[in-house]
Amino acid sequence: MLVYAISGLALVLGLILPLRWGVFGFLAAVALLFLTQFCVNVGSGFEGTSWEESLILFEGSVVSYIGFNLQITARAFALPLLVLALVVVSRFSRSF
C-alpha cells in the first residue's frame, strides 16, 4: 500500500515540478520520494511492530535495521521512479 501512496505522490510531484529545474529538479524529486519512503519504512517498524521489538529482531543493532530498510526501500522504489519519470519525460517532450 505504501508503494501506491508514494507512486501517487510521484505523480503529483511530476506534475507540479517546474520544467526549468531540469535534471537537477528531477534528481531532487527522486531523492525526496526515496527519503519519504525510507522514513516511513523505518518509522513503521519491522512488519508493523514497535521500534523496540524491531531492534530485538536485529539484535539491537540500529545500523542493521537501517541497512535492512534501505534495501527494502531500494527494491520497492521502481514503481514510484517509473511514474515520476514517465510524467516528467512526457512534460518535457510536450514543451519542445
What is the value of pTM for the model shown? 0.89
**59 and 8 Cβ atoms separated by less than 8 Å:** no
**76 and 37 Cβ atoms separated by less than 8 Å:** yes
**In this predicted model, what pLDDT tens digit does every residue of 33-78 receive, in sequence order?**
999 999 999 999 888 888 889 889 999 999 999 999 999 999 999 9
**In this predicted model, what pLDDT tens digit does every residue of 7-25 receive, in sequence order?**
999 999 999 999 999 999 9
Q: Tell me, what's the pLDDT at 52?
A: 87
Q: Enter the C-alpha cell of residue 22.
A: 531540469
Q: Enter the C-alpha cell of residue 47.
A: 512488519
Give 84-95 as a DSSP string: HHHHHHHHHHHH
- Amino acid at the residue 68: F
Q: Tell me, what's the pLDDT at 48?
A: 82
**Where does the pLDDT of residue 85 fall: very low under 50, low under 70, confident under 90, or very high at 90 and above?**
very high
